[in-house]
Structure 1
Amino acid sequence: MDAFQNTAQPDWDWWSRLWPTPGATLRDLGVTADDAVAEVPSGNGYFALPAARITDPNTVYAVDRDASLLDELAHLADQHAIGNVEPIRGDARDLASLLPERVDVVLVANTFHGVDDRTEFVREAVDALADGGRLVVVNWHDRPREETAAMGEPRGPPTDLRLSPDETEAAVRDAADVTLAERVELPPHHYALVFEA
């Protein structure tokens, strides 16, 4: 299967301009010490690694198709003595079958706009959740790309791929029996929707 549209892994410097405190962002999204988490796709761990610090000793499953990004994540985890991240190579569209257990949180950060079959993807993510689990979707606001700059340049997906919070909510709720628990603003360019299964 092809990768999701316009979801390439940016470098850490770029990420840090948008998310200077990823651990605090995760806490704002409700990630706690009691959670087992899957981030999909995880890239090289910008959110998976701080999630692992929050949830230790519970596991954070970092799922991605790109072996080189997962190798980088594993190296960074070793460097920082983070032992509860489990890299899993595979396609996000097969999430439930890739994970060895159901999780409390599935985090989908900055990729939902590029998912080709959102219905199937959401169903797979919800199938990966334990009872009462949460699907967290972080998205770019539906503003023109020229208005979402970082490091002096327009960033994020093309304007025509962006979804409003209402459009994201509709896509998720049409696909699965979930309840919108919370909308979270993530300035300057993002929002998150937290769904409960």
Structure 2
Amino acid sequence: MTGNNRFKRLLTAILCCCFLLGVCESAIADDIYQSKTIHSSDGIGKFYQGREIAKVMGHTEALWLERPSREVEEQPQKLIEALNLEPTNIVADIGAGTGYFSFKLAQKLPLGKVLAVDIQPEMLDIIEFLKNENKITNVEPILGTLTNPNLPENSINLAIMVDAYHELSQPHEVMQEVVKALKTNGKVVLVEYRRENPFIAIKKLHKMTQKQAIKEMSAVGLEWVETKEFLPSQHLLIFSKA
């Protein structure tokens, strides 16, 4: 066999393998997510574990995240106290937005820090401005992607997502990366409006049931620890690395 023929056969084999890998990856993606042409106007038409994924709140809604009424509606200080943080903890605030929770968490971590993750550079610009304006040194803005929060492996004690998880367009991939980033005994906390209660005045797709949250976290190897129900309208769901 000549050198040219050997090269052509090798190239053909490589291309075939790439094609088959692409087909397999596509099949896996189809198994994880489903798309429907008829869907809620508040959703993206993509379903995960039977739940329709909600549209993302854009940076133009930043003032909504900083609304004064949030102190009463969500009681953030009570939420943070319930996390039982250690001063040296490293906490990832995923879907940090304007840093509303990041800066509150930072006050509890004088020897640790908060990794404020968001996929919108405009949100991170706001965090950077507030960080410099208030001379806060233990909040680090991180630009994530739709599939990866860009956290180092084995680097965080806690990942928290407040009213954010339900908007992840690639929740399976993101949570797989979060699990990798957790240290031994690390925890994941989801704070979501209770979908079980139809009287909570939040759009349906922006709420989650406890059952659905546990189902989705178990899909990436996270075990449900407990659910705290002391907040006015939200679950505080705690999970650990299996």
TM-score by length of 2: 0.68
State how 1:111-130 maps to structure 2 within 5 Å.
111-130=164-183
How has the CA–CA distance of structure 1 residues 92 and 26 changed in structure 2, closer, same or farther, with 3 Å as cutoff?
farther
CA deviation string 1:121-169 (max 9, x = no partner): 2212111111111111111100466x22xxxxx4x3x314532111101
Determine helix, strand or coil for the equivalent of 1:181. strand
Which of the residues 105, 111, 118 maps onto 1:64? 118
Are residues 1:102 and 2:155 paired? Answer: yes
Structure 1 residue ranges without an equivalent (≥5) = 149-153
Shift of 1:49: 0.5
Distance 1:41 1:160 in 2: 17
2:86 aligned residue: 32
Distance 1:38 1:92 in 2: 16
CA deviation string 1:98-143 (max 9, x = no partner): 4486100111111222223332222121111111111111111004
1:6 aligned residue: 55
Shift of 1:188: 1.6
Alpha-carbon contact 1:93-1:121 (below 8 Å) kept: yes
Shift of 1:80: 2.6
Structure 1: which amino acid aligns with 2:164? T
User: How well do the aligned residues superpose, as a CA RMSD in angstroms?
Assistant: 2.4
CA deviation string 1:46-102 (max 9, x = no partner): 11001111012212100112222212112222233321000112225212x444861
TM-score by length of 1: 0.81
Moved more, 106-115 or 11-20: 11-20
Are residues 1:88 and 2:142 paired? Answer: yes
Alpha-carbon contact 1:18-1:188 (below 8 Å) kept: yes
1:159 aligned residue: 204
Between the two structures, name the one with larger relative contact order (CA 8 Å, sep ≥ 6): 1
Structure 2 residue ranges without an equivalent (≥5) = 1-43, 45-52
The count of corresponding residues between Structure 1 and Structure 2 is 184
Which of the residues 128, 131, 139 maps onto 1:77? 131
Distance 1:83 1:108 in 2: 21
How has the CA–CA distance of structure 1 residues 143 and 195 changed in structure 2, closer, same or farther, with 3 Å as cutoff?
closer
How has the CA–CA distance of structure 1 residues 27 and 92 changed in structure 2, closer, same or farther, with 3 Å as cutoff?
farther
Shift of 1:16: 3.0
